[in-house]
Copies of this chain bind each other. A is one copy, B any other.
Amino acid sequence: MKFNLSTKGFTDIINITSQVERAVEKSKAKEGICLVFVAHSTCAITTIEYEEGAIKDLKRALEIIAPMTKNYEHCKKWHDCNGYAHVRAALMKPCLAIPIEDGKLVLGQWQQLVLIDFDNRPREREIIVRVFDG
């Protein structure tokens, strides 16, 4: 299963929990696992408490590791200033696997699934959901 999203880029963090939950429901899987994947080199999938403060805090931490400047080798060579986006995506990775129990994703109360789009412009993204029943 797949679904699409419009993102604003620039480390846009988008709650995708309900879309993934719907994919799991459709699959009819009862006791399995769900793999969420994004096939783009400037995106990542993770979980976070989806709340304005925590979202800002994550962005600030990423500024320490890979600041959104143009001072990247990738930018110098390709005149494409999303070097920070490639670094952030490689560190945070494009996949996440979640158990399914009684037909539902096992997530904590304050734990939401998110797509992060690091790219330096708005993008249209495809999220892939693969479900295995146990």
Binding site for B on A (CB under 8 A): 31-33, 35, 37, 39-41, 46-49, 51-54, 56-58, 61, 64-66, 72-78, 83-84, 86-87, 89-99, 101, 106-108, 110-111, 114, 128, 130, 132, 134
Contacts and interface: CB of A to CB of B under 8 A. Distances in A.
Contacts of A73: 52-54, 56-57
Nearest to A92: B91
A94 to B, nearest CB: 6
Contacts of A48: 41, 86, 89-90
Contacts of A130: 31-33, 99, 134
Given A46-B93, A134-B132, A76 B99 contact: no
Given A33-B132, A40-B110, A54-B73, 19 more contacts: A37-B98, A46-B91, A47-B90, A48-B89, A51-B78, A53-B72, A54-B74, A54-B90, A56-B74, A57-B66, A57-B72, A57-B73, A58-B90, A58-B91, A61-B87, A90-B114, A94-B111, A95-B96, A106-B128
A76 B53 CA distance: 8
